[in-house]
Structure 1
Amino acid sequence: HRADATNPYVLTFDAEAGPPEVDVLLEGGEELAPGSGLWTIWTPGHTPGHTCIHDRERRLLFSGDHVLPVTTPNVSRYPTDTGNPLQDFIDAHRALADLDVAMVHPAHEHSFESLRARVDEIIEHHHERNEEILAAAADGPRSAAGIAARITWNVGTWEEMNADTRNMAIWETNAHLHYLVREGRLTEQARGPQAITEAFRAAFGGEPLRPIALVGCGRLGRPTLASEELADAGYEIGAVFDADPRQLGHTIRGLTVEHVDGLEDALAASGIAAAIVAVPPRYAQGVADRLVAAGVRTLVDYTGTVEVTAERVRVVHVAAIRAFQSSAYALAPPAAV
């Protein structure tokens, strides 16, 4: 990308930019190069494809973001995820515990010894967090956001967090909630599609809104686009835009994800005058400014950060994260004896 392309939703990407080409696909258990003594270990959890490198001869582990000496790596579960990332994370830590390692070199902080001790600390942290979540849900049912607001975070209180940090806290809480549901310690009543439809109806007083341009087809935009319930209620997406090459060209409910570079031309051709801003908060204001300049009269802001001074533009803030994470969680009843 060009050196000044710091915001993919505001600046134009080079036409040839795209995901990197893959030379070797690693699955774990491979030697990186014959005779190198560097062996891959697949360690999902922090990300699905995370991999550590073990130098067997020199007894070194390059742990990436999987094992850090001070920070406990973030483990999140997003609305479109289907797996159990916290279980994957814990299992991958246990797989490292007995490695013959003299020194660990992580991607952050500093190198350290005593891999086994640190692995035990991280696993114990997540067990303690599970107990804290169970306590927070004891008088439930509560949503993921409601439980996250009751948890102790090392970055500050819930009230002190900005939008980005709250999002991360909710996704991490969601990973723990899903883990506890799988263990049978919590019950879940999913109502995400219903909740986002209710949020739109409340915001617009039941007035339908169509067609709508959706900018951002990621963790919040994609389930919005896929929601038949939302469309049936009169909130129908007519065009979809994103800057991520991995999203471009996908067709969902008959709409193909277009590059955000063509946003203005597409809106002018279609006459669409309403749009949903579903990009990360740091990009939201830039997207909103482009939409307003393109003639959009109604903005639905998923981030809670957009400000528009033009009197002719209506801005409606919809708490999409809370809606999609609005499954209610409660303690599971005791097992019958």
Structure 2
Amino acid sequence: MAEFDFSQALADANAKYESISKALDMDRMLNDIKELEQEASAPGLWDDPENAQKVTSKLSAVQAQVRRLRSAQQRIEDVDTLIELGREENDADSLNEAEQELVSIQQDLDDMEIQTLLDGEYDERAAVVTIRSGAGGIDAADFAQMLLRMYLRWAERNGFKTKMMDTSYAEEAGIKSATFQVDAEYAYGRLSVEGGTHRLVRISPFDNQGRRQTSFAAVEVIPLVEDTDHIDIPDSDIRVDTFQASGPGGQGVNTTYSAVRITHLPTGLVVSMQDERSQIQNRAAAMSVLQSRLLVLKHAEEAQKKKELAGDIKASWGDQMRSYVLHPYQMVKDLRTGYETSQTQAVFDGDIDAFIEAGIRWRHEERRKAESQDEA
């Protein structure tokens, strides 16, 4: 076994720390903390609970980021001292401890580096995720529900708040579609790499002959709109329908017409909401999601025009971005990044951070290549 290169490991850790510190801009973060602390201490802050929650959450997130960065710097200095002592005293235990600490530091720096790659226009936003069953009948509906559980478990593991906005249940099992919101800093930046077509291969639990079945589900991720986005939707451009909310198997969950379906006539986009208590709340939630989808559509059209002008109309994302194979072997593989694991149950239990991080790095590299081509 090759001897551990402490000098190289220290140099790598210091270089990565400097790169991250520069990208995150410590001075800017400290200035943000001062401004947010002033806002948080304002006498009338909680007169607007929604804004107060945003301010306090943002403050907490920036403070945590600064603490983590400072902790990494201190750990690098401490392990450097430990290495010197270990070498001077020829202490194998100290050197072993230093090696383990350097590996741990590198992992933490890799995690922090992901934050520097989330530099898209809406990456900081909360996310709205919609999952729809595709080809595959009952299995596809069941797969869509498996994906819903996976993402909700992922959010729970990370301490992110979620809110169900709409669920349309399939008749026999699973769901036709579901929409939920993830309230966390950079939720959109992280989850946006999950958008695309997901494929499941397994022995169908709904086939009495035990045959293998391939089914598909689509995941859509959009940023939550804010007041500053200015997406105006004239009343003449929408049709609003109300209906009774329903539960699994079509069972009515209330007797009032509180559920709302909004159709955007120019684009054909349809948004349904039924998980709020009142029709007014469901309409507001549906309009918010519709605005988000129109915002994404607007930017997609602008990006497409730029690609056409550049003579490149290739799609950045393939129709199928990830496969979940449960038979004849166990494997989850991302077809864009090549990242894979045989721990399929862990993935369906929400252990998808490695897939998300690989996706973020892949997307960053694709953007870098595109920018290089544009400059050429």
Q: TM-score with structure 1 length normalisation?
A: 0.24
Question: Relative to total residues, which structure has the larger helix share, 1 or 2?
Answer: 2
Name which structure has the greater RCO, CA cutoff 8 Å, separation 6+.
1
Taking structure 2 as the reference length, the TM-score comes to 0.22
